[in-house]
Amino acid sequence: MKKLLGYILLAALPTLTAKAYETMYERTPVGTIEIKKIPRRTALEATSQNAYFEGGNNLFRTLFRYISSNDVAMTVPVEAEIKPGKMRFFVGSKDMKKKLPSGDGVAVKEMEPLTVLAIGIRGSYTEKRFNQNEEKLKAWLVENPGFEATSAPYGVYWNSPFVPGFFKRSEIHIEIRRKEKTIEDKERHSPTKPESNDS
């Protein structure tokens, strides 16, 4: 019975974590690759000289100290750029009116809306899992030549470090745009004019 209750609690952890914090945008389902819009948002960003997977915990601590000292509520997800390592928390609706200063290793940034290619992932937040799923997004772009990447891939993390690895949810995003047709493409796809029979 105790084991059963334990499994139920573990299964509920991701849901409880998500409901505890304001969500900045919708999750991508596990195993799904989709194009989605990311809204305008205010980011709190910490930067490291190391790659993210070499120093991610330090970035988290820097940001957590900042939101604690400035009484800013935690939101989800947390985003992370890989090289160089950067981590972003986002300011929720209840804290938008606060005049938050840059400082203590944290920059306050306004981020424009984005269109991204996203893949939903289940499992621990490791460099190996990131790289495996990055390859899936790159393969999608090869198979869909009408789109092109306009940013490096970055990580999107939905759960706290206390959630067991199997229940963790994450994503990888790549900013994309539709390719503009070249003059050659337009000529290739334009209807040909019939030859004139005038003599």
Looking at domain 18-177, does it have CATH number 3.20.80.10?
Answer: yes
What's the chain's length in residues? Answer: 199
Q: DSSP character for 103? A: B
DSSP letters for 57-94: HHHHHHHHHHHHHTT---EE-EEEETTTTEEEEE--GG
Mean pLDDT, contiguous 10-residue spans, the chain (199 residues):
43 51 97 98 96 86 96 98 97 97 97 98 98 99 98 97 93 97 57 54
Instruction: Note whether 108 and 90 are within 8 A (CB).
Output: no
Work out the number of other CB atoms within 10 angstroms of the CB of residue 147. 17
Q: Tell me, what's the pLDDT at 155?
A: 99
pLDDT of residue 182: 56
pTM, to two decimals: 0.82
Per-residue confidence (pLDDT) for residue 192, from 0 to 100? 54
DSSP calls for 151-174: S--EEEE-S-TTS-GGG-EEEEEE
